[in-house]
Amino acid sequence: MKNLRTPIALSLLIALSLACSSKSPEDQTQVVQSESHKIQEETPAMTTTTIAFKDESTTQIFNSYLALKDALVATDGEKASAEANKLNALLADENYNSIKADVQKIAGSTDPKTQRESFDSLSDQMIALAKSSELTSGNLFLQHCPMANGNAGANWLSLSEEIRNPYFGDKMLKCGSVTEKI
């Protein structure tokens, strides 16, 4: 009989605690909403900066690459595909054929995992292009995530020092570090 008293008493205690709560469900909702607003206020806004290369077409290519990167950060496969199509249209020069191959793979898929595999190779080529081109204003930040590609690591370019990981999106948004300022 003693064994039954403890669970019954515990159940009654929990029921009384819940019944005596001074907050209505509406009040509890307001608390959750105010906490949500507080978190948003504490998160620093991304600074929007721009870059320019000596060659205007190079500037357009990099701006398009950065829009593609942002779509992958958001894990938006449809948008990444659309941005890759825009980038593909800018790569008319034969010198960009190897870059174009990766861009076309991204454009041909709406699966972020597949897109991210090609984005790794694309980023390596864009990093080489950035280093060999004349940047006339702004900065690019070379960023690295050691956990991407099964812990082999992967790089990407960003306008901001703030890490926004295109390889994991919201799963590991801030995983990575700035390794170089270009």
Q: Range with the lowest mean pLDDT among 16-20, 29-33, 130-134?
A: 29-33
Q: What is the mean pLDDT of residues 96-118?
A: 96
pLDDT band at 95 (very low <50, low <70, confident <90, very high): confident
Residue 41 has pLDDT above 50, yes or no: no
Q: How confident is the model at residue 6 (pLDDT cuts 50, 70, 90)?
A: low
Band of pLDDT at residue 18, cut at 50, 70 and 90: very low
Distance CA 48, CA 38 (A): 23
Instruction: For residues 95 and 80, give the distance between their C-alpha atoms in angstroms, rounded to a whole number.
Output: 23
